[in-house]
Chains A and B, each alone.
Chain A
Amino acid sequence: MNLEELQQIADTCNQERDKADYEINVCMGTGCLSQHSDKIKDDLATEASVSNKRIIVRRTGCMGLCASGPLVLVEPTNVLYQHVTADRAKDVINSVEGEPIPELFCDLREHFDDQVHVVLENSGRIDPEKIEDYIGRDGYLALLTALTDMKPAAIIDEITKSGLKGRGGGGYPTGLKWGTVAKARGDVKYVICNGDEGDPGAFMDRSVLESDPQRVIEGMAIAAYAVGASRGFVYVRAEYPLAVSRLNTALRDARRRGLLGNAICGTDFDFDIEIRLGAGAFVCGEETALIASIEGKRGTPKPRPPYPAVSGLWGKPTLINNVETFANIAPIIRKGGPWFAKMGTEKSKGTKVFALTGKIAHTGLVEVPMGMPLRQIIFGIGGGVPDGHKFKAVQTGGPSGGCIPEEHLDIPVSYESLIGVGSMMGSGGMIVMDDTSCMVNVAKFFLQFCMEESCGKCIPCRAGTWQMHQILTKICDGEGSYADLDLLVDLCGTIKETSLCGLGMTAPNPVLSTLRYFRNEYIEHIEHKNCPAGVCSCGSKAVKEAEVHA
């Protein structure tokens, strides 16, 4: 495969598209697929074939607006239909030339206009199981350019100039990490893609793998070339079967086209990728635990240093980056580091994909430039809190993060500002809570999660999260005291400072964050044995409800 051939494939693909008058894209991500969007696609294809128009009906990946699925997009008119059912297939085909069907039409200008799609630029617009579609939208152009025109050092330089930081939550400068691995001495090096998206409430990585898997493969290949690796692994959660299957298809197609394997594109660069399945352990999202898991062992982290960049998988220098981080690589190489750095804030460049869920009108995936105020994301793009309820907090960073109240909603979304208010970016989960959520209960929920996911190797996390959960349960049950609260804070301090890995070190964050902004709820539970939101068993409203349902 060389640049000419790549261009030919792209041209052929685009010519096919140009032949048609209309294109109908049907979302077949996990969410819409669960509502039988595959049948919708088949019926649309049938109706299209008997109509007198030239229409291509295409399976695509996620369009982002998950709560409004099944989603169907008609191009070039850019008409988006929501909650589509198979029986409307004929109507949809008939409507392409005229007015959109009113009851299905989804006119969410405010939702889409403010978004900037870099990682998601192909999601919902290409068939994830057709490598030609990807190539038709500049796919693999970056890899071929890198292999034929750029030296590894130049690639790393471009990534550094972009200011890209790890999108899995660590926020570590990607260029710096690549440079470290490149410089590490070793005959064998590895590239690992961390697809163990464990934060509950986050599904950005799943969506990218299901909707645009070639993008991740291309990013990994460029990375491997830059750091000198010849083998790559994608570690994916076993709970993501569709992502695994789409990735498998993508790898097979990339190999067939000579974009993976030996002597890629006629150069002396060899690189291939294997999939490794996770098995239900959140801690395996931590780099050293992930490596242990690929080595076939219990996923227990190791003290660092030595860092994986120097001594990782089987003791060799290993580059580990998140799915979303790799998804940013190809556009940066194509358009240059400075292009990426123009977006975002001073310390947080580029865009970020967020999974907006919870009590929000437009649940789903959004991609915005770093620096956008939280208020705009939640109330503008997200459509605010539905059903007449009042916004209470937005939880970011998963079990490692914190809850941000209304008073801080005008902060720009960036690594540094989220840390400044006691939370963190994390992998991108953004869970909106309203007045029906009890913040003490939320803290307890996250502690339960950390307690159950703790690997057990170090004492502070293993025994500490259990003790913290006990105290929170006491408080939620109306049996807590101020002494319990003091002990809780004390334990937070020790666990935060002495745990072996990030899981333990950040486990106290939800507690500390809710204590900072919602201390009144803790006091209400302790002093008045009452849960203001009516969630906990000590609350009079919750008790009454339980009696009714008994």
Chain B
Amino acid sequence: MTPVATTVDVKTLQINGENVSARADQTILEVARENGIFIPTLCHLDGLTDVGACRICLVEIKGSPKLFPACVAKVEEGMEVITNSERLTRHRRTILELLFAERNHVCAVCVANGNCELQAVAQTQGLTHIRLPYRVQRLEVDTSNERFVADHNRCILCSRCVRVCDEVEGAHVWDIMGRGINSQVLTDLHEPWGSSSCTRCGKCIQVCPTGALFDKNKVGVSHPKNPEFLPYLNMMRDAK
């Protein structure tokens, strides 16, 4: 019988003790989601390149004391992944606490209240209070754009806006300035959004996980975000 080439594409691994199969080029996150296994994420978004920045999706892999970002780590044959240990939950809560204390996240007055990924992830991790002192820094609210607002108090520096404007829209209006805890997203040469080279396409609004970037028309009404168009746009572009 002619041997079938099995070495190439398919890998089998375990996630939380469950056997799953995957293509060789898939990430742990992709495979987990395909199998209904939950891994919290913040900077990841289907349709944008992954940066492994938020560290919320870190998972344990048996045989290594290190933690690995599920959004970028590729699967390997025989891998034994744990996504829900006590150690991971503790770290995720601390990372979320660090985020909440870093800037001014006041849900009660936020347009994204109820439609916020930061809220949602905090709820999945059972976060009830913050042990850390708040930084309490007064940050800019840029209303210069006739359609949109950038409220830096709510930004978690996930860089989704930067990535979508660069990779999908192609305008690269957004980037990040400064360093460390003084980092901030900016448009053009740190100019008001309204007078920048922004094309008003609105993609950054849809990908922003919090109420940092929002549509002026949605204030007072509900503001769900719908970034599902991204993989579709990528597919159409790649098909050309």
Interface extent on B, as a size class?
A: 20 to 34
Nearest A-chain residue to B159, judged by Cβ? A457
- Set of chain B residues within 8 Å of A281, measured between Cβ atoms: 179
Task: Please pick, from B51, B52, B99, B157, the residue contacting A456 in the complex, using a CB distance under 8 A.
Answer: B157
Q: Is the CB of B179 within 8 A of A454?
A: yes
CA distance A463 to B102 in the complex (A): 6
In the complex, which residues 60-85 of chain A have their Cβ closer than 8 Å to any Cβ of chain B? none
Q: Are B98 and A463 in contact (CB under 8 A)?
A: yes
Using an 8 Å CB-CB cutoff, how does the interface string of A345-358 with B read, 1 for contact, 0 for none?
A: 00000000000000
CA distance A190 to B58 in the complex (A): 31
Say which residue of B53, B94, B133 sits within 8 Å of A458 (CB atoms).
Answer: B53
Closest to B74 in A: A305
Q: Would A499 and B55 count as touching, CB distance under 8 A? A: yes
Query: Binary interface profile of A, 457-488, with partner B (CB < 8 Å = 1, else 0)?
Result: 11110111111001000000000000000010
Q: Which residue of chain A lies nearest to B58 when distances are taken between CB atoms in the complex?
A: A498
Q: Are A491 and B181 in contact (CB-based, < 8 A)?
A: no
Of chain B, the residue at the smallest CB distance from A450 is B180
B98 engages A467 (CB within 8 Å): yes
Is B72 in contact with chain A by the CB < 8 A criterion? yes
List which A115-158 residues lie within 8 A (CB) of chain B: none
- Give residues 33-53 of B contacting A (CB, 8 Å): 51-53
In the bound complex, do residue B98 and residue A464 qualify as a contact, i.e. CB atoms below 8 Å apart? yes
Q: Is A538 an interface residue (CB 8 A)?
A: no
Q: How far is the CA of A501 from the CA of B53 in the complex (A)?
A: 10
Question: Would you call B75 an interface residue if the criterion is a C-beta within 8 Å of the partner chain's C-beta atoms?
Answer: no
B180: which of A451, A487, A490, A498 is its contact (CB, 8 Å)?
Answer: A451
CB within 8 Å: A-B pair count: 92
**Chain B residues numbered 149-188 whose CB sits less than 8 Å from any CB in chain A:** 156-157, 159, 176, 178-183
Is A497 interfacial (CB 8 A cutoff)? yes
Report the bound CA distance from A455 to B52 in whole Å. Answer: 14
> Across the interface, do B102 and A494 meet the contact criterion of CB distance under 8 Å?
no
Contacts of B55 in A (CB 8 A): 458-460, 498-500
CB distance from B92 to the nearest CB of A (A): 9
Give Cα A499 to B55, complex, Å.
7
| Partner of B90 from A456, A458, A463, A494 at Cβ < 8 Å | A494
Would B94 and A494 count as touching, CB distance under 8 A?
A: yes
Q: Which residues of A contact B99 (CB under 8 A)?
A: 459, 463
Q: Known contacts A452-B180, A454-B180; can you find 12 more A-B pairs with CB under 8 A?
A: A281-B179, A305-B74, A453-B180, A456-B179, A456-B181, A458-B53, A458-B55, A460-B98, A462-B183, A463-B181, A467-B98, A470-B133
Q: A: which residues have CB within 8 A of B?
A: 281, 298, 302-303, 305, 451-460, 462-467, 470, 487, 490-491, 494, 497-500
Tell me the B residues contacting A by CB distance below 8 Å: 51-55, 58, 66-67, 69, 72-74, 90-91, 94-95, 98-99, 101-102, 131-133, 135, 156-157, 159, 176, 178-183
